[in-house]
Amino acid sequence: MAYSFRFGVIEANLDNFLQGLLLGLALAFAAILIGTLIGLLCAFATTAKSRAPSRLVGIYVSAIRNTPLLVIVLFVYFALPQLGIRLGKLESFIFSLAIYSGAYLTEVFRAGLAGVPKGVVDAGRAIGLNGLQRALYVIMPIMWRNCLPALGTTFISLFKDTSLAAVIAVPELTYQARKLNTETFRVAEAWATASLLYLSTCLLIAAGLRQLERRFPKF
C-alpha cells in the first residue's frame, strides 16, 4: 500500500505535542514528590521497634505492586466518586501515580536505609543527636546518595507511565498522538513523533542522572 509521509500535520500540531510532553513530565514530577514522602514515611516506619507498622507497610507495598496501574487509575477516577471523593482528572491521576510510586519507592528507600553503615549511626548517637536529628543529618544524606540511581530509574518509568493518563482523557503526549491519529489519519507520523519525543526525553533524563551521580560521589 502506498503511504506518503507528510510531516506538515505534525509541524502544525507541534505545540500540542510539546505541551503534552511537558504535562507528562509535570505529572511524573508531582507524583514522585508525593511518592517520595509516602516512601520515606513507610521506609522509616519499618525501622520502628514494634512489628505492626512494618506489617502494614508490607500489605500496602504488595497490594500496590500486584495491581495494574491502569486499574488503580480507573478505580480512583471512576469508583472513588461513589464514596463521595471527587477529584479532577489531573488530581486523580497524580494521586494514583503517587500511591503507585510510593510503594516502589518504599522498597527503594528501605534498601537505601539498609546501606547506611551502622557505625555512622552509632557515632551520631555518641555525639548526642536524638532520633530525629540522626535521621535528618546522619542517615538521610547517605541514604539519598544510595538511592539516587534507583530514584532516577523510578522517575523515568513514572514518566513513561504518564501515558496511561490518556485513558482518562488527560491531554498528555499519548492523548495528543491519538487525537492527531484519529483526526488526520497521519498514523505513522503521529506515532513516530510521540515515540521519538518519549525516547529522547528518557535518554536526556538518563544522561542528566548520570551527571548527577558523578557530581555526588558514593559514600
Residues that bind other proteins (CB under 8 A): 1, 3, 62-63, 65-72, 74-75, 78-83, 160-164, 166-167, 174, 177-178, 181, 187-188, 191, 194-195, 198-199, 202-203
Phi then psi for 2, rounded to 5 degrees?
A: -80, 130
The C-alpha angle with vertex 159 and arms to 101 and 184, in degrees rounded to 5, equals: 135
Query: Closest distance between other proteins and the C-beta of residue 187, in Å?
Result: 5
Task: Rank residues 185 and 216 by Cβ distance to other proteins and give the closer one.
Answer: 185
Task: Rank residues 113 and 177 by Cβ distance to other proteins and give the closer one.
Answer: 177
Residue 210's alpha-carbon distances to 33, 157, 206, 214, in angstroms, are: 20, 16, 6, 6
Query: Closest distance between other proteins and the C-beta of residue 114, in Å?
Result: 19
Task: Rank residues 71 and 136 by Cβ distance to other proteins and give the closer one.
Answer: 71
Of residues 154, 181, 162, 206, the one with CA closest to residue 36: 154
Neighbours of 30 (CB within 10 A): 18
Query: Closest distance between other proteins and the C-beta of residue 18, in Å?
Result: 16
Query: Closest distance between other proteins and the C-beta of residue 120, in Å?
Result: 31
Query: Closest distance between other proteins and the C-beta of residue 123, in Å?
Result: 36
Residue 194's alpha-carbon distances to 24, 145, 157, 163, 188, in angstroms, are: 12, 33, 16, 10, 10
Residue 200 CA to residue 21 CA, distance in Å, equals 11
Task: Rank residues 85 and 114 by Cβ distance to other proteins and give the closer one.
Answer: 85
Task: Rank residues 84 and 217 by Cβ distance to other proteins and give the closer one.
Answer: 84
